[in-house]
Amino acid sequence: PPPPPRQKQQQQQLQQQQQQQPQQQPQQQQQQQKQQQQQQQRQQQQ
């Protein structure tokens, strides 16, 4: 059987984090987006 997709779980967690944080600080949102890209790249490499 194919391995279960981990990306979906991590993406959901990151989305929750973004929703929890207030939108008053756009810098934090930008940082989170960068983190998302880094994590996705790591998964693809694995």
**Domain limits of the chain?**
5-44
pLDDT tens profile 1-44: 676 655 555 555 555 555 554 555 555 555 555 555 555 555 55
Specify the pTM: 0.21
End-to-end CA distance of the chain: 18
Q: Given this model, what pLDDT does residue 2 score?
A: 72
CB neighbourhood size of 15 (10 A): 12
Tokens describing residue 46:
């694995």
Distance CA(45)–CA(36), nearest Å, equals 14
The encoded tokens of residue 33 equal: 């987006």
